[in-house]
Amino acid sequence: MRKHLGNVGALLRGFSITFSYMFKKRPTIEYPSVKKKHAPRFHGLHELRRYADTKERCIGCELCSSACPANAITVIGAENSPDDRHSPGERFAARYEIDELRCIFCGLCEEACPTDAIVLTPRFEMADFRRGSFVYSKDRLLVPPEAGVGLAPDERPNGIPSDLGMVAQVKSTMESDTGYDATNRGIILKTQRRGLAG
């Protein structure tokens, strides 16, 4: 008899937890009109950044593809010509591709980049119907020319960008409003939201 009373007590404790949640506000959000607010350090879709003078930050060094544990990044560097300069250095990325299906979004490419060219943004919506659509080439990754930031290191010693490390510094906050400003796609995500769920 005592054993059965213990079971009833356990059942009542379980039901009390269930009933306590029945009257609380639901955590369901009305996606896509309301989008979930991610932390600024969320590892989502990549983007290739530019300088304010529209030159590409990527110098084709291939360090990101070497650091990638999933072999998701393909970089083929080429030499800059005096007539047609793509980046401030001697080289630029003639071909830059990321296979988002292979990517594990670890952020090692972002850490390995010596010019802060490749960054992970808070954007997470990448659904599509074809596998080939998940191979993001340079034309899809590169931010528009008007979204370039920072001075190119043409006149600086050793060719170091003036704002090196600023992306990590801006993203290392707990406030989404400030942290999203580190990337162009983060800024777009802030403006496209009709509602924001915490």
Residue 63: inside a domain: yes
Q: Both ends of the chain: CA-CA distance in Å?
A: 48
- How does pLDDT run along the chain (198 residues), one tens digit per residue? 666 666 888 888 888 888 888 888 877 777 777 777 778 788 889 999 999 888 899 988 899 999 999 999 999 999 988 888 888 878 899 999 999 999 999 999 999 998 889 999 988 888 889 998 999 999 999 999 998 888 777 766 566 777 887 888 888 887 777 888 888 888 888 776 655 555
- The CATH number of the domain where 165 resides is what? 3.30.70.3270
pLDDT for res 103: 93
Residue 83 CB coordination number (10 Å): 5
Residue 39 lies in a domain: yes
- What pTM does this model have? 0.76
Q: Considering its fold, how many domains does the chain have in total?
A: 1
- Domain residues for the domain of 33 are 26-197
In a domain, 17, yes or no: no
Nearest to 143, CA basis, from 51, 48, 54: 48
| Residue 21 falls inside a structural domain | no
Residue 176 lies in a domain: yes
Residue 75 lies in a domain: yes
**Measured in whole angstroms, how far is the alpha carbon of residue 29 from the centre of its chain?**
22
